[in-house]
Amino acid sequence: MGQANNKSNAPTRTFTTLVFDRLASVKFAVTVVVVIAVACITGTLIPQGTDVAKYIRQNPDAASRMELFGKLGLTHIFYSLWFIGLLCTLAATVSVCSTRRFSTVLRTSGYARYRAFGSMLTHISILLILTGGVIRGVWGEKGYIELREGETNAQFVTEKNVKLLPFGIHLAKFEIETYDQPKTDTDDKAQAKQGDCCNALLVAWPEKNLKATLPVKVGEEQGFGEFKITILKYIPDFIVDMQTHEITSRSSEPRNPAILVAVNGPTYQNHRWLFAKFPDFTMHTKDTPATGPSPLEMIYQNHGVVEHKTMPTGPIKSFKSTIQLVEGESVVGERTVEVNSPFHYKGYTFYQSGYNPDDLSYTSFQVVKDRGVPVVYTGFALMIAGLFIVFYLNPWFDARGKTA
């Protein structure tokens, strides 16, 4: 019985040993690396993914060639199964090499054992980096979210579908900074292009017989008697979303222009929406109810000037957004996002990714959820440390040993 078992296991063991021996050989590892390098070269010479359509538009004669490449799977090399298979083979050969080396090292003692540490670290780091890539590929999420100033959204669009965030993102402000025009407070606050004649806030205080025409400058505090008046927001085409009860803009055209005005005085404070087309109608915000009857009369005038931020002149230095995190009905935090300075919240990272030069109240963010990043970064650190040990620390100890 025992002999029969041994006989049936013998070919399996031989095959396994053969595979392990092959994976552990430097020759095989180098061959795999060379094949991956050739695949990489091919991937840079043949347009990949979304670049294919662009390439065909620019080179119509190449359409049939690109179709052939597509059929051969050469237009999505880096995400193809065979390329992922090659990376897995690399991972397997690195794993087997490391395991065998580790078991050999364990049989040694003293300095020889420590000498192998750098090489081990380097090879383990490759596995960590590949593991991080797998975590991203399998569990990662990546998409885009577009927002207009004043809008809130809790969905982002991926390549395949729309996904829901566990919180909402409200774009409070988007701004572009250029090199030629140093940013000033006035620039920062003057968000709308308008003239006093066509777009203004008429304020009257009947009790004191005071009247004024204030320019509509979003964010700028203006004095009127003992009151401070600030226009907090401008919406060109005001609408309340019936499902979310969010105030939003249907378009960038001033079809239903409205402004949110904050009035602050010693005896009266209030936030209210004023509508250019409905001067008799005002809407108080829920969170800031009026502190008594208003002593001020206000009329918002907008005579059809298309209000939009103008594209600043000069090279773009930076663009950034002030966004608020909304959970349920309340704002739980406010962050600034700019290029090279993303923000992280509940496992998601938001990257400032773009803007529309024709409508600067719009901006877009890349939304990424990738738990593999810390694993990859650990791999990076270990690889640098491992290489440093192999190339510099080990030779230094070797030299010290010789001189000792």
Partner 1 sequence: MFLSAGAVAQTIYMAVRWSIAGRAPFSNMFESMVLLAWAVVVVYLALRIRRQIPVLGAATAALAVLTLAYASTFETKIQPLMPALRSNWLTVHVFMCFLGYGGFAVAALASIGYLIAARTGSKTRPEITSAFDAATAKTISFGFLFLTAGIMTGAVWANSAWGTYWSWDPKETWSLITWFIYAVFLHCRFMRGWKGKRAAWISVIGFASVIFTYYGVNFLLSGLHSYARS
* In the complex, least distance from residue 61 CB atom to partner 1, rounded to whole angstroms: 19
Q: Does 353 bind partner 1 (CB under 8 A)?
A: yes
SS3 1: coil
Answer for which of 18, 19, 33, 198 binds partner 1 (CB under 8 A) is 33
Binding mask 39-68 for partner 1 (x = CB under 8 A): -xx-xxx--x--x-----------------
* In the complex, least distance from residue 130 CB atom to partner 1, rounded to whole angstroms: 11
* In the complex, least distance from residue 80 CB atom to partner 1, rounded to whole angstroms: 12
Binding mask 303-332 for partner 1 (x = CB under 8 A): ------------xxxxx-------------
Q: Does 197 bind partner 1 (CB under 8 A)?
A: no
Please state, in angstroms and rounded to a whole number, the distance separating the CA atoms of residues 290 and 230: 15
Answer for which of 30, 63, 68, 399 binds partner 1 (CB under 8 A) is 30
Answer for which of 98, 120, 133, 235 binds partner 1 (CB under 8 A) is 133
Nearer to partner 1, 182 or 266 (CB): 182
Nearer to partner 1, 255 or 320 (CB): 320
Please state, in angstroms and rounded to a whole number, the distance separating the CA atoms of residues 341 and 110: 47
* In the complex, least distance from residue 78 CB atom to partner 1, rounded to whole angstroms: 4
| Nearest partner of 149 among 243, 275, 245, 252, judged by Cα | 252
Any idea what DSSP says for residue 290? -
Pairing, β 210-215 against β 199-205: antiparallel
Answer for which of 1, 4, 26, 242 binds partner 1 (CB under 8 A) is 26
Nearer to partner 1, 34 or 68 (CB): 34
Two tokens, residue 190: 């003057």
Q: Does 399 bind partner 1 (CB under 8 A)?
A: no
In our burial notation (b when 16+ CB lie closer than 10 A, e otherwise), range 276-304 reads beeeeebbeeeeeeeeeebbbebebbbee
Answer for which of 10, 19, 34, 88 binds partner 1 (CB under 8 A) is 34
Q: Does 105 bind partner 1 (CB under 8 A)?
A: no
Nearer to partner 1, 163 or 255 (CB): 163
Strand arrangement of the beta sheet that strand 316-327 belongs to = 330-338, 316-327, 162-178, 152-157, 141-148, 359-369, 348-356, 343-345
Answer for which of 380, 396, 398, 399 binds partner 1 (CB under 8 A) is 380
Q: Does 92 bind partner 1 (CB under 8 A)?
A: no
Contact (CB, 8 A) for 324 and 334: yes
Answer for which of 349, 356, 364, 378 binds partner 1 (CB under 8 A) is 349
Please state, in angstroms and rounded to a whole number, the distance separating the CA atoms of residues 381 and 374: 10
Pairing, β 330-338 against β 316-327: antiparallel
Helix count (H) and strand count (E) of the chain? 10, 18
Two tokens, residue 81: 């199964």
Number of residues that bind partner 1 (CB under 8 A): 42
Nearer to partner 1, 26 or 164 (CB): 26
Q: Does 111 bind partner 1 (CB under 8 A)?
A: no
Please state, in angstroms and rounded to a whole number, the distance separating the CA atoms of residues 286 and 279: 20
Return phi, psi of residue 110, to 5°: 65, -140
Any idea what DSSP says for residue 389? I
Footprint of partner 1 on this chain (CB under 8 A)?
26, 29-30, 33-34, 36-37, 40-41, 43-45, 48, 51, 78, 133, 142, 179, 315-319, 338-342, 349, 351, 353, 366, 368, 373, 376-377, 380, 383-384, 387-388, 391
